[in-house]
Structure 1
Amino acid sequence: MTTTPQADGVITAPAPRAAAGRPAAKQYLGVIVAVVVVVILLVLGALTAPNFLTVSNLLNVLRAASITGIVALGLTFVTISGHYFSLSVLQTAVLSSVVYAATASVAGFWGGLAAMVVTALVVGAVQGLVISVGGNPVVVTFAAGAAILGFVLWVTDSTRVLLHAPADSLAVQIGGATPLGIPMATWTFVVLAVVSHLVLQKTTLGRRTILVGANKATARAVGVNVRLVIVAAFVISALAAGIAGMLSAAEFGVADTAQFPNLDIDAVAAVLVGGTAIKGGQGSALQTVVGAIFISLLRNYLQIMGLSTGIQLLCVGGAVVLAVAGYTLMKGRGK
């Protein structure tokens, strides 16, 4: 492996390349497989559930996929960096939703946005710092999630926080507007997906995140500030969860601890079904986008078929197990 000296003397790691002799399409194996599975699910739904492919139902799927996908895009950075997942994204979304609703009620959209961003930055940076000095990411984020939820329940006295703003104000419209008939959350998801893809593929931060996930020792050897990369990954994840919380509070006019059922499970499932390597070093935002769409389609189909929440969770879990096993087998054969 070679390194490239820069003008200022800093050594920058090169972008990871596909193994010699492998087709370039191998890099997009996760996307291709996930797209095929989505198409199969669409065909199955069309044949067995008459209301599945209606415009109104697909818009509902898009909105659900967008909230899940926004959070999952943030988690993608954490997973690619080699730190599994953040188990506090649901609680971060709840906290951000409460902060936005409370602040926007008195300071408008921009005040609510600023408060949400600062909150997410602090939450993500604290967790990232602890993990960067050796903290176990599962333990740290699990504990952080419990602390965040406890704080929210304490300050709100376990009650909902209403967003007091005129219906035509930006503070409300940012969540409920439907430009060209498409929910604002979906537009946000698309923009963030493009930005995430460009960051991971075209920027120094993205390349270093991939390298840290692939091999921390190599990253340190070529001059990468591994701790800074880890902190950045968890900050990005927290910001993504914060944006999801803000959009939800704006759309429904209320912040509630129960407004994100299974968000953490679905976001993690989206990352894994999309094919991002759980050990880090491999994956993309595009894979996560397709994974989020699949998980939302699957849940929607199961709901239309009248299946219980328990069966839905069973099917989502089964899809994750099959996806991880399938990707592992394919990668093993590709060596």
Structure 2
Amino acid sequence: MAIEVTGLRKAYRDKVVLDGVDLYVPEGEIFSLLGPNGAGKTTTVQILTTYIGADGGEVRVAGHDLAREPGAVRAAIGVTGQFSAVDNLLTGEENLVLMADLHHLGRRKGQRRVGELLEQFDLVEAAKKPVATYSGGMRRRLDLAMTLVGSPRLIFLDEPTTGLDPRSRRTMWQIIRDLATSGVTIFLTTQYLEEADRLADRIALLNHGRLVAQGTATELKRRIPGGHIRLQFADEIGLESAALALRGSARDDDALTLNVPSDGGIRSLKTLLGRLDEQSIEVDALTIHTPDLDDVFFALTDRHAPAKEGNPR
């Protein structure tokens, strides 16, 4: 297990930031922690990466007890924060060489590792240029490359694509997927729900210091009502016939559509089509609508919101 967290607690005076959080992240998984501002995401990352201490709970990171072996934890992980930690006065290559020296890789091994990372992150042509001339996407790639100099098997990415344009964001997504494919465990926090949906093997939703849901994106979406199959008809006769056959559906006479409650699964779709076929009802078009992570986010955070807000991140 890459990360094991039981009963994690953190408070600042009378402000409870984390209130008994349990987290388990298997090796090689992309795990995403979501939550609104003030939920405790950044505090969780800061504790797991040894930047701050916890007030309670048991934590093991990369096989090491966080409280007793913080040095071993730091040696085993890599961290890419919300803001790039690169030196603008140095070139991209010099930034990587500096990290190689800090990791005591030695001259030959360090040069080899720097070359590998420049190639991997498509920074060869820009290697000799000052980082001050880099675009936002290039800076973010360099920042992640610097995190990987020591070849960590567990990486914390705290909102890694904030401020990037859509093309740079997708490039970063592919890099993250490639890292996971190579066996690296990734702990990801993000404000972009689509990012978690596309990347994460499992997702946890944190709200006001408590975990309110965990599971795959598909599992979380199934917890939220509102899925339906929309049937489009060529005329009012077809709409009327379907409405009579499918009681409880929502009809729109102007649009000639009927919304049939459904979980969007194959079984429910086959059942619906069978009923339409039995009644000889012709459908002009059919579309399946299921809740997305936005629906999950708003439904669960609203449902579990406490009376008072304003906890720090």
Using the size of structure 1 for normalisation, the TM-score is 0.21
Greater share of residues in helix = 1
Larger relative CO (CA 8 A, sep 6+): 1 or 2?
Answer: 1
TM-score, normalised by the number of residues in structure 2: 0.22
Larger Rg: 2
